[in-house]
């Protein structure tokens, strides 16, 4: 289905059925469409707070997928996790009901906004989108926001505003972000990832360049990492206004970086002039870079340095991004969504200056293809922890047919422990935990549930 066709359906009175409606990006889509006057229904595999919230708005939500759920719908919107053999997809196609992807719907919606800030990159999307949201609110832009995680400021992962700005975390997987219409496109970094979809790094770079080229030729702005060679190579010769950022290179840079109790303070320079002074509440050089990217986006949108400083100063982290869960036997327990070697390295380097006696990294690899393709990189970064504890791979959308396992990772990382199940992991961590430890629960699957077991008795 073309983008033009979905535009025709997104109008008051049209019945739209959303599959996976309780998901982090589908729930806000349902609320936005409902607010636009569409008659929204949805389905999900289980009840949840999100489902209850939607029902409170008058959205009919079915638990389970069944052909009759799409009866009367004029269009169906699905996530990438919903496959063609799903009974609702089969029924919709049999009845001639058009089926669209979630990204196509968001793309159509963002065309109604004067400013569409889309944040992309292999790492840092959620945090940078969250920082941009804080700055936008400080600038009184009243934005609509879609983040792939929970932002404590919002109490959820999205916000429906009434301003002329929309801010979206923009994922490259399955080229979802190529359905968007950014006026400001942020590219934080480009590395090999999602190799179950992309052929290689060059293929990934091609998609990111296409994303940048979606910005309007005359008025669009691309924000790019001057210190990331893959990004600069992908954007070579790009005919768009570009604002680059970096610690020491680019249009937006940091000056006078210091650390107080592991947290960074620095001046943000734009074209050599002070734009704002930043004092972050999140650790790590990677978060300094994320903040510089957010400032570059703010500059592109005309937001003041005062708003940027206030927004960054009030940002205390996004959900599942170095999120404190509590204590276990005197150890501090944190959860982090890192699932790529580059992200894990940034996390482990960021916590070095926080004063812990020992860093315990409990890691649940995410997907067999990523673990297989980046096996050696995972081994090297896990060696940075004082103790690495591995649990079985979270399959997500995949099946185990590549012959790779967490047990193999554990064998390759000296001194590490292997726990086949999450129950085993919880028991081992409880036994290991002691005062002065930082226990990191790392991964994009369900390892965060171990945190509840560790910190609740």
Kindly give the pairing relationship between strand 241-245 and strand 273-279: unpaired
335 near 328, Cβ under 8 Å?
Answer: no
- Report CA-CA distances (Å) from 257 to 149, 207, 243, 248, 286: 28, 34, 21, 11, 13
User: Considering 125, 172, 367, 432, which one is annotated as catalytic?
Assistant: 125
The C-alpha atoms of residue 256 and residue 357 are separated, in whole angstroms, by 28
Q: Residues near 104 by Cβ (< 8 Å), separated by ≥ 6?
A: 1, 3, 6, 77, 179
How far is residue 304 from each of residues 133, 137, 281, 312, measured CA to CA in Å? Answer: 14, 12, 20, 12
Distance CA 7, CA 415 (A): 56
Using CA atoms, how far apart are residues 100 and 255, in angstroms rounded to an integer?
46
> Which tokens go with 15?
């019945």
Phi, psi of 351 (to 5 degrees): -85, -5
The token pair that represents 94 in the structure block: 């049999």
d(CA 344, CA 359): 13
Query: Coil, strand or helix: which one is 357?
Result: coil
206 is catalytic: no
Q: Are strands 323-328 and 331-336 parallel, antiparallel or unpaired?
A: antiparallel
Catalytic residue among 27, 31, 101, 169: 169
Q: How far apart are CA 39 and CA 20, in angstroms?
A: 17
Residue 77, strand partner residues: 18, 100
Q: How many CB atoms lie within 10 A of CB 229?
A: 11
Catalytic residue among 31, 79, 101, 126: 126
User: Structure tokens of 145?
Assistant: 């926001």
* Residue 126 known to be catalytic: yes
Residue 208 contacts residue 120 (beta carbons within 8 Å): yes
Q: Is residue 169 annotated as a catalytic residue, yes or no?
A: yes
Label each residue of 414-442 as H, E or C.
Answer: CCCEEECCHHHHHHHHHHHCCCCEEEEEE
Write out the catalytic residue numbers: 125-126, 169
């Amino acid at each position: 289905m073309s983008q033009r066709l979905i535009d025709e359906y997104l109008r008051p009175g049209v019945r739209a059925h959303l599959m996976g409606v309780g998901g982090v990006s589908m729930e806000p889509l349902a609320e936005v469409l409902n607010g636009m006057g569409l008659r929204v229904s949805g389905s999900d595999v289980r009840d949840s707070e999100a489902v209850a919230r939607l029902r409170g708005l008058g959205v009919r939500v079915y638990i389970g997928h069944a052909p009759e759920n799409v009866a009367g719908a004029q269009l169906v919107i699905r996530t990438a996790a919903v496959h063609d053999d799903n009974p609702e997809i089969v029924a919709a196609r049999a009845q001639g009901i058009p089926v669209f992807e979630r990204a196509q719907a968001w793309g159509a919606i963002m065309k109604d906004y004067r400013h569409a800030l889309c944040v992309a990159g292999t790492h840092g999307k959620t945090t940078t989108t969250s920082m941009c949201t804080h700055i936008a609110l400080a600038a009184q832009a009243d934005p609509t926001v879609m983040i792939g995680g929970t932002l404590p400021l919002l109490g959820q992962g999205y916000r429906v505003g009434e301003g002329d700005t929309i801010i979206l975390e923009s994922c490259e997987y399955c080229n979802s972000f190529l359905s968007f219409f950014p006026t400001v496109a942020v590219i934080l970094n480009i590395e090999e990832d999602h190799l179950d979809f992309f052929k290689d790094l060059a293929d990934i770079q091609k998609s990111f360049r296409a994303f940048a080229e979606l910005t309007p030729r005359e008025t669009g702005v691309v924000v790019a990492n001057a210190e990331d060679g893959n990004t600069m190579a992908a954007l070579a010769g790009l005919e768009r206004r570009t604002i680059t950022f970096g610690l020491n290179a680019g249009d937006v840079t940091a000056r006078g970086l210091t650390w107080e109790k592991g947290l960074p303070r620095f001046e943000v320079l734009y074209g050599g002039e002070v734009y704002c002074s930043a004092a972050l509440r999140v650790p790590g050089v990677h978060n300094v870079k994320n903040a510089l990217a957010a400032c570059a986006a703010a500059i592109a949108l005309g937001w003041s340095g005062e708003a940027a400083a206030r927004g960054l100063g009030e940002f205390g982290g996004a959900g599942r991004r170095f999120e404190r869960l509590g204590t276990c036997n005197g150890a501090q327990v944190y959860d982090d969504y890192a699932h790529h070697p580059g992200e894990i390295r940034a996390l482990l380097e960021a916590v070095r200056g926080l004063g812990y006696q020992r860093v315990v990294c409990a890691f649940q690899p995410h997907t067999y293809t990523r673990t297989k393709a980046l096996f050696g990189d995972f081994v090297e970064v896990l060696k940075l922890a004082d103790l690495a504890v591995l649990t079985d791979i979270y399959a997500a959308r995949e099946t185990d047919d590549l012959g790779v396992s967490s047990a193999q990772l554990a064998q390759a990382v000296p001194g590490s422990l292997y726990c086949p199940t999450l129950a085993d992991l919880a028991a081992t961590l409880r036994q290991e935990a002691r005062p002065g430890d930082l226990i990191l629960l790392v991964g994009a699957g369900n390892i965060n549930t171990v945190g509840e077991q560790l910190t609740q008795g």
